[in-house]
Structure 1
Amino acid sequence: MTYDAAGRPVRDVAPLQQTIRCFGAAVLLLSLFLPVPACPAAAQDAENPPPDSAAPLVLGVVNIHYPPFFVFRGDRVSGLCIERLDRALALLGLRAEYRPLPWNRILDLARSGEIDGVAGLLWNQERQEFLEYVNVPLAKQYDRLFTRKGQNPFWDGTLESLAGVPISTVLGYSYGQEFDSASFLDKHPSINDARMVRMVLEGRYPLGIGPASVVRSHARTLNMEDRLVFLDPPVAENPLFLALSRKAGRSALLPALFRALRRVSDPDSGLDSGLDSGRDSTELPATP
Structure 2
Amino acid sequence: MSVKATLYLVLCCWLSVALPTHAKQADTLIINIANPIQAYPPYHWQENGEIKGLVPDILEAAAAIAGDNIEINYVPVPWLRMFSLAQNGDIDAILPVSFNQERANYLHFVPESIVMERMNLVSSSAFNIDFNGDLSALSGYQVAGITGYYYGEAYTQANLKTLGLANEEEQVAMLLAGKAPLALMDTNILPYYVNKLGGEREHQIRILEPHLYEAPLHLAFAKNGRYPEFVERFNVALAKLKSTPDYQNILQTYLSQE
TM exceeding 0.5: yes
Q: CA deviation at 1:236?
A: 1.7
Q: Is the 8 A contact 1:58 1:96 kept in 2?
A: no
- Which residue of 281, 284, 288 maps to 2:255? 281
Bigger Cα Rg: 1
Alpha-carbon distance in structure 2 between the residues aligned to 1:166 and 1:115: 35
Aligned equivalent of 1:147: 123
User: What letter matches 2:224 in structure 1?
Assistant: K
Q: 2: CA distance between counterparts of 1:99 and 1:160?
A: 40
CA 192–247 in structure 1, closer or farther in 2 if over 3 Å, else same: same
Q: Percent identity?
A: 25
Which blocks of at least 5 consecutive residues in structure 1 are unaligned?
A: 1-47
Query: Which whole-Å deviations, capped at 9, do the CAs of 1:175-213 have from their partners, x for residues lacking one?
Result: 22332x224311111122211222232222210011113
Q: Deviations over 1:224-243 (max 9, x none)?
A: 49622211222122211100
| In structure 2, C-alpha distance between the alignment counterparts of 1:280 and 1:83, rounded to whole Å | 10
Q: Which residue is 1:84 aligned to?
A: 58
Q: Deviations over 1:111-158 (max 9, x none)?
A: 212221112111111111111100111111221111112422131023
Q: Which of 227, 231, 234 is residue 257 of structure 1 equivalent to?
A: 234
State the match for 1:247 in structure 2.
224
TM-score by length of 2: 0.80
| Secondary structure at the counterpart of residue 68 of structure 1 | coil
Counting only pairs closer than 5 Å after superposition, residues 195-206 of structure 1 correspond to structure 2 as: 195-206=170-181
Aligned residue for 1:153, secondary structure, equals coil
What's the secondary structure of 1:135's corresponding residue? coil
CA distance in 2, matches of 1:106, 1:116: 10
Q: Report the CA distance between 1:57 and its aligned residue.
A: 3.7
Structure 2 counterpart of 1:230: 207
Give CA-to-partner distance per residue, 1:78-119, whole Å, 9 cap, x none.
211111111112222333432222211111112212221112
Per-residue deviation, 1:160: 2.8
In structure 1, how many angstroms separate the alpha carbons of the residues matched to 2:197 and 2:182? Answer: 17
Question: Which of 62, 86, 110 is 2:34 aligned to?
Answer: 62
Q: Given residue 81 of structure 1, which amino acid in structure 2 is its aligned partner?
A: V
CA distance in 2, matches of 1:266, 1:185: 40
1:34-56 Cα deviation digits (max 9, x unpaired): xxxxxxxxxxxxxx976459535
Residue 71 (structure 1) aligns with: 45
> Measured at CA, do residues 51 and 147 of structure 1 come closer, stay the same or move farther in structure 2, by a change above 3 Å?
same
Please give the secondary structure, in 2, of the residue aligned with 1:187.
strand
Query: Can you list the C-alpha shifts for 1:49-68, whole angstroms capped at 9, x where unaligned?
Result: 76459535432111233111
| Counterpart residue type for residue 116 of structure 1 | D
TM-score relative to the length of structure 1: 0.72
Which residue in 2 is equivalent to 1:192? 167
Between the aligned partners of 1:83 and 1:195, the Cα distance in structure 2 is: 26
Pick closer, same or farther for the CA change 1:184–1:65 going to 2, 3 Å: closer
